[in-house]
């Protein structure tokens, strides 16, 4: 069984068989974030890109929990210069782990560090863990590449940004669902800031109206979803 915790914004914790994978840990800087109060020990951190609301507390958490950080080669070299234990990969690359694998896909988005280092393109991830396949889109616009993501292995859960302004908004995210065809979708990257305040129920009803065989689950920060 795979348990997914929505910590808030784009931060997701995936747990299976005692292994925790943390994605885009924007926690300390997000007053709305609800991290687990106990049993929080990620062994791997995935970072889609260097923006503050995704890189977040990566450096502090990785040093504290001895978690490795898997990200693009560009962000990995920036982080390893700061003493972080990194795994560098790039688009199309699939990195094996004892729990499964992680594959990097491009996201249509930029990646500049909080201190102004321009690192190029942002990533998104497919995580294969506990027999399930989870797609975390990071920050992205809609792109027809999304048709390809579920071809290799059907996606059980997709985490898609819906807030607009910096990423695709609700209508484009609904189109993304049609291309990725996940069993379940959870909306992310909305509500955190004034300019990404949208109604996730509107996303949910538009996905339903489109007739896709995808179930929308809206999680509040701190809530969990189990993939049986």
Q: Which residues bind Mn ion (CB under 5 A)?
A: 53, 139
DSSP letter for each residue of 126-145: EEEETTEEEEE--S----TT
Q: Which is nearer to Mn ion, 129 or 196 (CB)?
A: 196
Minimum gap (Å) between residue 127 Cβ and Mn ion? 19
Residues that bind Ni ion (CB under 5 A): 51, 139
Q: Which is nearer to Mn ion, 59 or 95 (CB)?
A: 59
156 touches which of Ni ion, Mn ion, none (CB within 5 to 8 A by kind)?
none
Q: How far apart are CA 146 and CA 150, in angstroms?
A: 8
Minimum gap (Å) between residue 75 Cβ and Ni ion? 12
Q: Which is nearer to Mn ion, 139 or 156 (CB)?
A: 139
Minimum gap (Å) between residue 41 Cβ and Mn ion? 25
Minimum gap (Å) between residue 54 Cβ and Mn ion? 6
74 touches which of Mn ion, Ni ion, none (CB within 5 to 8 A by kind)?
none
DSSP run (H or E) holding 87: strand 86-89
Minimum gap (Å) between residue 107 Cβ and Ni ion? 9
132 touches which of Ni ion, Mn ion, none (CB within 5 to 8 A by kind)?
none
Residue spans of alpha helices (H) in the chain: 52-55, 58-65, 73-80, 146-149, 170-180, 200-209
| Geometric angle at alpha carbon 191, from 45 and 37, rounded to 5° | 45
Q: Which is nearer to Mn ion, 33 or 129 (CB)?
A: 33
Q: How far apart are CA 51 and CA 72, in angstroms?
A: 13
Q: How far apart are CA 180 and CA 155, in angstroms?
A: 7
For residue 73 the two structure tokens come to 């080669």
Q: How far apart are CA 30 and CA 140, in angstroms?
A: 20
Q: Which is nearer to Ni ion, 55 or 158 (CB)?
A: 55
Pairing of strands 86-89, 68-72: parallel
DSSP helix/strand/coil, 25: coil
57 touches which of Ni ion, Mn ion, none (CB within 5 to 8 A by kind)?
none
Pairing of strands 100-112, 184-188: unpaired
Q: Which is nearer to Ni ion, 73 or 108 (CB)?
A: 108
Location of structure tokens 């069984």: 1
Minimum gap (Å) between residue 14 Cβ and Mn ion? 19
- Which residue's Cβ has the minimum distance to Ni ion? 51
């Amino acid at each position: 069984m795979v348990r997914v915790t929505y910590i808030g914004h784009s931060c997701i914790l995936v747990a299976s068989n005692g292994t925790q994978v943390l994605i885009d840990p924007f926690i300390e800087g997000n007053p709305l974030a609800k991290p687990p109060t106990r049993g929080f020990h990620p062994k791997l951190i995935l970072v889609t890109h260097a923006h503050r609301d995704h890189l977040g507390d990566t450096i502090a958490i990785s040093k504290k929990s001895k978690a490795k950080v898997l990200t693009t080669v560009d962000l990995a070299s920036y982080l390893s210069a700061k003493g972080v234990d990194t795994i560098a990969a790039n688009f199309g690359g699939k990195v094996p782990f004892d729990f499964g694998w992680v594959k990097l896909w491009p996201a249509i988005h930029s990646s500049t560090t909080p201190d102004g280092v321009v690192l190029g393109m942002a990533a998104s991830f497919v995580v294969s863990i506990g027999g399930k396949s989870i797609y975390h889109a990071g920050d992205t616009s809609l792109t027809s590449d999304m048709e390809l993501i579920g071809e290799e292995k059907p996606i059980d859960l997709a985490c898609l940004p819906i807030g607009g302004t910096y990423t695709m908004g609700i209508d484009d995210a609904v189109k993304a669902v049609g291309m990725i065809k996940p069993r379940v979708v959870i909306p992310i990257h909305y509500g955190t800031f004034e300019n990404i305040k949208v109604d996730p129920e509107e996303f949910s009803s538009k996905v339903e109206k489109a007739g896709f065989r995808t179930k929308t689950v809206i999680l509040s920060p701190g809530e969990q979803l189990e993939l049986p």
